[in-house]
Structure 1
């Protein structure tokens, strides 16, 4: 099924067929050429998506509490020794925590991770999610974050390439850099909408 993802900030659009990008261009042109395509309109701009260099730190060294555990652990990610204690006390929590961590990454426009994942449960979660793995930079950009600074965008989308991108509710890329990845409104991996802001 053809899906046309269109953005309001610049009028650009991406036509997706299954897992691949079929066409790129102005919304009006693509909509006229493909009138049967399902249309998804988004505020802001569409980018190739982000590479987060902190894969192990976010998915293996941080506990992402289940909302049902909020009375015990709160709702924000837990790092350091407290996370290690949680995982030592119940190793089965690692995979479930990683699934919630992946959702948090998607909510920040992340489509690729860097860093070596060593825990089998975490690696399986990351692979099943569709995240791709990129090279870790020699110099990390600062503290571990879901919205690292500076942000690393993947290479530009291409016709015939994978439908892997994110949409941010910002005016332009400079606004994205200024406001950060928490402005994400949608993330698409393999043509699937894996995150949509409410």
Structure 2
């Protein structure tokens, strides 16, 4: 199915399967592809972010299940709090899936990781479609779900272009300076491999 994603500025991408078919103004794409479904989003459409702390956020952090909130709270657990938990493979895998969803909610479409050693985490992440990019054992900056809060310059995949993988995000801001100021929590939609993996309700 052909789908056009468009932002408030009138910028749009046409997606078919997992690839971008065309990029251009919304009015041009709708005229050229009248049968395509159109999704209009508030804000700006961008390539999304590469989170530099994939290892730390997925393999060295526990993301509590909402049903555990009364005991563990809702914030990610690291360090001594993580060490105190007895996590089996099922809980590690579920935590990794929740961690990826939290990344998607911040416009992340890829994460830089050292090779993941925990098989349950590795298998869970592979099923989400999040792209894993190679990196050394430790990344500078502060691990954060919001790549704009990690004290490192944000990294994005290559610019959106026809033939490239359909992975991008939309942020409910007027422009890039406002995105930098307000952070990636303004994400309203994330698309990975052509699939809408996050949509803010």
**For each residue in 1:62-100, what CA deviation from the matched residue of structure 2 results, as whole angstroms up to 9, or x when unmatched?**
1111111111111111111111221x3544311111011
Equivalent position of 1:158 in the other structure:
161
Equivalent position of 2:172 in the other structure:
169
C-alpha distance in structure 1 between counterparts of 2:136 and 2:184, whole Å: 19
Equivalent position of 1:178 in the other structure:
181
Equivalent position of 2:21 in the other structure:
22
> TM-score, normalised to structure 1's length?
0.93
* Matched position secondary structure for 1:122: helix
Matched-pair contact (CA < 8 Å) for 1:187–1:195:
yes
Q: Which runs of 5+ in 2 are unaligned?
A: none
Equivalent position of 1:103 in the other structure:
101
* Matched position secondary structure for 1:71: helix
C-alpha distance in structure 2 between counterparts of 1:65 and 1:157, whole Å: 34
Equivalent position of 2:132 in the other structure:
133
C-alpha distance in structure 2 between counterparts of 1:138 and 1:68, whole Å: 33
C-alpha distance in structure 1 between counterparts of 2:87 and 2:142, whole Å: 27
In the TM superposition, residue 143 of structure 1 has moved relative to its aligned partner by 1.1
| Aligned length in residues | 196
Q: Kindly report which structure 2 residues correspond to 1:118-129, keeping only aligned pairs within 5 A, or say none.
A: 118-129=117-128
* Matched position secondary structure for 2:84: helix
* Matched position secondary structure for 1:124: helix
Q: Does 1:196 align with 2:186?
A: no
Equivalent position of 1:13 in the other structure:
12
Q: Which runs of 5+ in 1 are unaligned?
A: none
Is the alpha carbon distance of 1:32 and 1:93 closer, same or farther for their aligned partners in structure 2, counting shifts above 3 Å? same
